Amino acid sequence: MMHEMTHEEAFAAIDAAALDVLDGSERAAVFAHIEGCGTCRAELEAVRATVANLAFSTALAADTPVASRSRIRQRLMQRASSEERSSGETPLSMNVVTHPLGTVVQPVDTAAANGSRTVLPLRKRLGWRAAEWTALAAGILFAASLGVIGAMWQERGRLRATIDAASTSQRAAIAMRDSLRSRLSVQDSLLGGLTGRDVAVMTLTSAAARAPFARMFWDKAANTWTLVAHDLPPLKPGRAYQLWLVTRTGKISAGTFAERNGNAVMRATYALPADELRAIAVTEEPAAGSPQPTSAPLIAATATQ
Amino acid sequence: MNPPIPSEPYPSTAADEPTSSARAGAPAEGVRASAELDRELVRRMQAGDERALGTFYDRWFPVVNCLVTRILKTPAEVEDVVEETFWQVWRQAARFDADRGSVQTWLLTIARSRALDRLRATRRRREEPIEQGQLDDATNIAESFDARAPNDPLLDVEHAERRQIVRAALSELPAEQREALELGYFSGLSQSEIAQRTGQPLGTVKTRMRLAIQKLRDRLIVLREDAR
């Protein structure tokens, strides 16, 4: 028999419930309580959101073959597509038409094209009764109806093709809108990092001729660092530029980046007390980055508050 | 504003400050926009839009793949479970309730459950001992910007920031709390199994897990949509 938990007992076990580490009977008792308790349900959802973030603690899968990613995607899309086709197909509807000449059972979508029907043979008589004349009229009407249905079916096909084409265009437009919206959001964030009230700007220079230069925008309120660099020399294969935040106690990597036509924009998020920063510098390092700089800085600047 | 190059650009250091101690803030606007885009994609999947599934897969494959790889390790099983995760998302999109949680939580809960189901089934079949997982040491921020998998670079940045924040938060937990959390989350062990495995009383394990989650919750509040 399941132990009935008090609210306090269940609430105390919600962390473990969200992590799904409760043992059988305790788990059942906790979820039985949560089922009827709004407070516990809300708490469970909140803790689940925290727990889900643990997925981000895993290292990037460096060796995931691109082929695997594409293969899974292809299979998924095929499955979704075939499912939609099978569920989207109009079921073969059957027309059951009863009339005095007999019963016709015919798939609607082949009715127009198919001339052979299971119809009882017309009884030949010298003198027809009124019912038989009625049946003949009904037969003629039925044949005419089949013609109309056939025409409607063709029109339906044309409309369906038009709708499919419109849906494809709409999906493309929606995808484009989503992509643009996403990019706009990042651009807004980038602009915020460049123009915020608490942004400090530092210029990184070099003594060499035709020297590269860069500006660092440090948004102290948002802890974001945006580096905009120009005239960077091309990198050799397997190499990357690495940005360093030099503090009183050490050199902190803020990430690696590559140049394109000598230009680069790089963003990092790092919380640093305003008075800790002494300098910033960029060095050339192996593509995976270095724990500490292994070469002289290409460009550097002292900190401005 | 245009300072000279420092004569000593790298001052000598008594102790290099580890990156892992960083407490960073996430751009809440980006989090909100990203979450809204995910909700929109799920709405479109509810309407049977296959393209939405493709876009959703492209956005989330790297994260789901990392999580499933961490739990299962065998490439064939990983591939299978990743596919089944997104297939479940597609089939159950209509059941997603935005009022009860985020798309991210929903997706990653599905991915973890599927991976743990597979792990437990494999264990039962082979009677193999579980592997001792270790949380990756919080490493250089540089890794976060390593674009190994071709993806939307802007999304990569957002996920890299999230990864950095989560790993920094984990690095601040005492080792025993982190271990308990890891054995529960990645190895799928129950609290009593963790107690048995670590040789600690069940009550101690429960306390460690509770404290760990409470601390994480405090630290990761910046990742919430409504953080600011």
Q: Report the gap between the CA of A158 and the closest CA in chain B (Å).
A: 22
Q: Is the four-CA dihedral B48, B49, B51, B53 of positive or negative sign?
A: negative
Residues B118 and B165 in one domain: no
Q: Any chain A CB within 8 A of the CB of B224?
A: yes
| Domain count across chain B | 2
CB contact under 8 A, A22 and B191: yes
Predicted local confidence at residue A132, as pLDDT: 77
Predicted local confidence at residue A127, as pLDDT: 55
Q: Report the gap between the CA of B100 and the closest CA in chain A (Å).
A: 7
Q: Any chain A CB within 8 A of the CB of B226?
A: no
Separation between Cα atoms, residue B163 and residue B157, nearest integer Å? 10
CB contact under 8 A, B145 and A256: yes
Q: Report the gap between the CA of B126 and the closest CA in chain A (Å).
A: 22
Q: Report the gap between the CA of A95 and the closest CA in chain B (Å).
A: 30
Q: For the domain that residue B174 is a member of, what is the CATH number?
A: 1.10.10.10
Residues B32 and B114 in one domain: yes
Query: Nearest Cβ partner of A304 from B3, B52, B141?
Result: B3
Is residue B31 a part of any domain in this protein?
yes
CB contact under 8 A, B27 and A304: no
Give A-chain residues touching B86 at CB under 8 angstroms: 72, 76
Are B177 and B212 a contacting pair, CB within 8 Å?
A: yes
CB contact under 8 A, B58 and A73: yes
Q: Which of B128, B162, B182 is the last residue of a domain?
A: B128
Residues B157 and B114 in one domain: no
Domain containing B69 equals: 27-128
Q: Which of B128, B163, B183 is the last residue of a domain?
A: B128
Residues B122 and B157 in one domain: no
Give A-chain residues touching B58 at CB under 8 angstroms: 73
Is residue B73 a part of any domain in this protein?
yes
Taking CA–CA distances from B184, the nearest residue in chain A reads: A21
Residues B104 and B66 in one domain: yes
Give B-chain residues touching A201 at CB under 8 angstroms: 1
Q: Any chain A CB within 8 A of the CB of B62?
A: yes
Strands (E) located in B7-81: none
Predicted local confidence at residue B15, as pLDDT: 32
Residues B161 and B107 in one domain: no
Q: Any chain B CB within 8 A of the CB of A163?
A: no
Provide, rounded to the nearest whole percent, the portion of chain A with pLDDT above 90. 18
Three-state DSSP at A246 gives strand
Nearest CA-CA partner of A301 in A230, A216, A195, A236: A216
Residues B124 and B162 in one domain: no
Residue B170, burial from CB neighbour count under 10 angstroms (0-12, 13-18, 19+): buried
Query: Nearest Cβ partner of A182 from B16, B154, B210?
Result: B154
Predicted local confidence at residue B222, as pLDDT: 77
CB contact under 8 A, B75 and A68: yes
Separation between Cα atoms, residue A189 and residue A205, nearest integer Å? 26
Is residue B108 a part of any domain in this protein?
yes
Three-state DSSP at A202 gives strand
Q: Any chain B CB within 8 A of the CB of A82?
A: no
> Hey, which residues does A264 pair with through a beta bridge?
A229
Residues B123 and B159 in one domain: no
pLDDT in tens, A99-138: 333 333 333 343 334 443 344 444 444 456 677 788 888 8
CB contact under 8 A, A253 and B108: no
Q: Which of B128, B145, B172 is the last residue of a domain?
A: B128
Are A74 and A112 a contacting pair, CB within 8 Å?
A: no
Give A-chain residues touching B135 at CB under 8 angstroms: 57
Q: Any chain B CB within 8 A of the CB of A196?
A: no
Is residue B214 a part of any domain in this protein?
yes
Residues B45 and B123 in one domain: yes
Is 0.90 surpassed by the pTM of this model?
Answer: no
Give B-chain residues touching A301 at CB under 8 angstroms: 3, 5-6
> Hey, which residues does A57 pair with through a beta bridge?
none
- Here the ipTM equals 0.76
Q: Any chain A CB within 8 A of the CB of B142?
A: yes
Query: Nearest Cβ partner of A72 from B4, B82, B159?
Result: B82
Residues B89 and B40 in one domain: yes
pLDDT higher than 90, residue A201: no
| pLDDT one digit per residue (tens) for chain B, 228 residues | 333 333 333 333 333 333 333 333 444 566 677 788 899 999 999 999 999 999 999 989 989 998 999 998 788 899 999 999 999 999 999 989 888 889 999 999 999 999 999 988 887 766 544 444 433 333 333 333 333 444 566 677 778 888 888 989 999 999 999 999 999 999 999 999 999 999 999 999 999 999 999 999 988 887 776 544
Helix (H) and strand (E) counts in chain A: 7, 10
Residue A90 — very low, low, confident or very high, per pLDDT cuts 50/70/90?
A: very low
Residues B169 and B78 in one domain: no
Q: Any chain B CB within 8 A of the CB of A198?
A: no
Q: For the domain that residue B79 is a member of, what is the CATH number?
A: 1.10.1740.10
CB contact under 8 A, A50 and B184: no
pLDDT in tens, A127-179: 566 777 888 888 888 888 888 888 888 888 878 777 877 777 777 777 777 77
Is residue B19 a part of any domain in this protein?
no
